[in-house]
Amino acid sequence: MVYHIDLSSHLTNLFLRDSNTFALLEQLSINSFAGFAPSQAKQYVPVFPEGYVIRDVILFFLNDGTFPLVGHPSVHNWVQYHAKTRGANVTYERDDWSVADPHKPRKTFRCQIQDPDAP
């Protein structure tokens, strides 16, 4: 049986770009970025300076140099805060979901297809 799951209604997206993005994401995370290249994705785990985990999200590395973070907004807030306060050359655009306004227009939609025979 094939399952189609709309993941758009509960995930926040943060699209990061520009020259310092890779370095900023690497500095805030416990993940290794060795070998991380365009057209890949990974679990991204940012931490407090003391090493406490904030939460995890999915980080994509797109061919155009954009890094979408997809998941719970607490991670997006943390990364966005550090992009602002460190003066990093990083631009960002958010696409938030909203429980209060489920009809809020979205910029990004995701659909997961799950099945052993899914293409």
**pLDDT tens digits along 98-117:** 666 767 777 776 666 667 77
For residue 46, tell me if it sits in a domain.
yes
- Angstrom distances, CA of residue 3 to CA of 8, 81, 98, 108, 114: 15, 37, 24, 20, 5
Contacts of 22 (CB under 8 A, 6+ apart): 33, 67
Query: CATH number, domain at 42?
Result: 3.30.70.1400
- The answer, as to whether pTM is greater than 0.75, is yes
DSSP β-bridge partners for residue 93: 15
For residue 119, tell me if it sits in a domain.
no
pLDDT averaged over every residue in the chain: 85
Q: Residue 55: what pLDDT?
A: 94
- For the segment 44-69, the average pLDDT, to the nearest whole number, is 94
Q: Residue 21: what pLDDT?
A: 95
For residue 103, tell me if it sits in a domain.
no
The total domain count for the chain is: 1
Give the whole-angstrom CA distance, residue 69 versus residue 16: 8
For residue 1, tell me if it sits in a domain.
no
For residue 65, tell me if it sits in a domain.
yes
For residue 2, tell me if it sits in a domain.
no
DSSP β-bridge partners for residue 42: 59
**5: phi then psi, degrees, rounded to nearest 5:** -125, 125
**Domain that residue 46 falls in:** 15-96
For residue 32, tell me if it sits in a domain.
yes
Give the whole-angstrom CA distance, residue 14 versus residue 58: 11
Per residue in 20-43, pLDDT (tens digit) is 999 999 999 999 999 999 999 999
